[in-house]
Amino acid sequence: MAKFSVGDRARVLDRPGWPGGYKIANWEGEIVEVKEDPADYVIMKADSTGYNMAFPEAELEKI
């Protein structure tokens, strides 16, 4: 079952040890699509850029 629904707000989790630091950590946005294939992926429209970005649900937290 999907962790997120369209319209939910989410924040990108940090990836410790990411070379050079994970620059999009803590970005926030709105879920605009919940993917069926691949499963457990969502499309988030980032507030900071306005771009739609794909993420595994495990890399986001609800806000």
pLDDT at residue 1 greater than cutoff 80: no
pLDDT in tens, 6-44: 999 999 999 999 998 999 999 999 999 999 898 899 999
57 phi/psi in degrees, rounded to 5:
-55, -30
| Residue 12 Cα to chain centre, angstroms | 5
Contact 2, 8 (CB under 8 A): no
Q: Which helix (H) or strand (E) holds 9?
A: strand 9-12
Domain spanning 9-62 has what CATH number? 2.30.30
37 vs 41: CA distance, rounded Å: 8
53 vs 29: CA distance, rounded Å: 10
